[in-house]
Each structure stands twice: as C-alpha cells, then as structure tokens.
Amino acid sequence: MSKFDQEMDRFVTDYFKEHENEKAKIQKWGNETEKELTNLDLNSIRFEREIEKRFNQLGKWLENKRIEIEGKFGESKSK
C-alpha cells in the first residue's frame, strides 16, 4: 500500500471515528434535553395547579371579606 493510500485510509478511518463520536455526543445531548424538557413540563403542570389552587383560595378569602364588609356596612346603616 502506498503512503498516499495509507494516509487516505487513516483520514477516512479518523473521519468516521470522529463522526461516530460526534453522533454519540449529539444523541446523548438529545436524550438529556428530552429528559429536561419532560421535567420542565411536569414542573410547569405542578406550578399551574398550585397557582390555580392559590387563586381559588384568594377568591374565597376575598368573597368572605366582601360578605364581612357588607355585613358590617349593613349593620351601621340600620343603626
């Protein structure tokens, strides 16, 4: 085998080796990203439920305060 053929063979071998390594890195990155996106999705669902729960609690609290204030206002009107 000539020196040129040896160099070409080495180049092609190295190229494909690097190519496979980069493909593996990209696959790993893709898997990690997918996992992180899944976690982000779950966290956003939890956050949405929690904020909805808190807004409902706030709405009930405000309704109770409104009734309380209207009751006090009604009492002072009747005096």
Summarised one tens digit per residue, pLDDT across range 19-44 is: 999 999 999 999 999 999 999 999 99
**pTM recorded for the entire structure:** 0.59
Q: Is residue 79 scored above 60 in pLDDT? A: no
Convert the pLDDT of each residue in 46-77 to its tens digit. Answer: 999 999 999 999 999 999 999 999 988 877 66
DSSP codes joined into one string, the chain:
--HHHHHHHHHHHHHHHHHHHHHHHHHHHHHHHHHHHHHHHHHHHHHHHHHHHHHHHHHHHHHHHHHHHHHHHHHHHH-
Q: Residue 14 and residue 79: Cα distance in Å, rounded? A: 96
Domain positions in the chain: 30-79
Per-chain mean pLDDT for the chain: 93
What is residue 78's predicted lDDT score, i.e. its pLDDT?
59
